[in-house]
Amino acid sequence: MNYYDEIKGVYGIDMSVSTMEDLLDLDINYYMRVNFTSLMKLVDAIGGVDVESDYSFRAISGERFVKGINHLNGKQALAFSRERKAFSDGDRQRGKNQQKVIIAILNKTLSSTTLITKYTDILDSLGGSFQTNMPTSKIYNLVNMQLDKMPTWTFESISVNGKGSNDFTYTYPNQKLYVMVPDMNTVNEAINKIDAVEKEK
């Protein structure tokens, strides 16, 4: 089995978590998995999000986005997150755009006492269309901490790169597929960054 199969979630979320832990030498305590429907519901439940696009483009689903700030409803946020064919960087830009939507959701929610106090209503509105292993008590503690202190948050990202190749995978042992072989220099940079953040706690 290789990183291609595991990171794409072919063998389930536990295997994806285990693979990322092995690759980046870390422990992942909690995860949240959302599907298309839950993303749209969440964005609509908080009144939309403001996302900065690196490019003006038209998604394959028809929605248009301008370079700069775009106010997105749930359907638009999904289209923005899914598009890759409009970009020369394809999947890489799609990954960046997905991060932008996630950060926009977090920024809006964490900066609003109204939204934080309504977190149970927001979760209920998702109607079981998301999955997490975080206990309700932990979510409650985090909400109370945010309400008590209202800290501001800084989000950073680092790109782990690789080289495109064709290789056999665990899922298709008799057929070569496009895979990305990790550049271990960038993997080690990510590991060092994570360690540095951990030491700041």
pTM confidence score:
0.84
**What residue segments make up the domains of the chain, in order of their start?**
1-31+153-201, 32-132
Show the DSSP H helices in the chain as ranges: 3-7, 13-24, 36-45, 74-82, 91-110, 113-117, 119-125, 136-149, 184-199
pLDDT tens sequence across 106-145? 999 999 998 988 888 888 887 777 889 999 899 999 999 9
Least-confidence region, from 2-6, 76-80, 128-132, 192-196: 2-6
Cβ 141 vs Cβ 148: under 8 Å: no
pLDDT of residue 70 exceeding 90: yes
User: What pLDDT is recorded for position 79?
Assistant: 98
Question: Please, what is the average pLDDT of the chain?
Answer: 89
Q: State mean pLDDT over 81-97.
A: 93
Please, which pLDDT band fits residue 5 given cuts at 50, 70 and 90?
very low
Q: State mean pLDDT over 144-162.
A: 90
Spell out the residues 6+ positions from residue 91 whose beta carbon is closer than 8 angstroms to its own.
84
Q: State mean pLDDT over 160-174.
A: 88
pLDDT of residue 7 exceeding 80: no
pLDDT of residue 28 exceeding 80: yes
Give CATH for domain 32-132.
3.40.630.190
pLDDT of residue 6 exceeding 70: no
CA dist., res. 172 & res. 185, Å (int): 28
pLDDT over 70, % of the chain:
95
CB atoms within 10 A of CB 200: 5
CA dist., res. 99 & res. 106, Å (int): 11
3 state DSSP class of 35: coil
Name the residue among 73, 148, 144, 64 with its Cα closest to residue 105.
Answer: 73
Least-confidence region, from 8-12, 72-76, 163-167: 8-12
Least-confidence region, from 6-15, 139-148, 158-167: 6-15
User: What pLDDT is recorded for position 9?
Assistant: 59
User: What pLDDT is recorded for position 170?
Assistant: 81
User: What pLDDT is recorded for position 8?
Assistant: 52
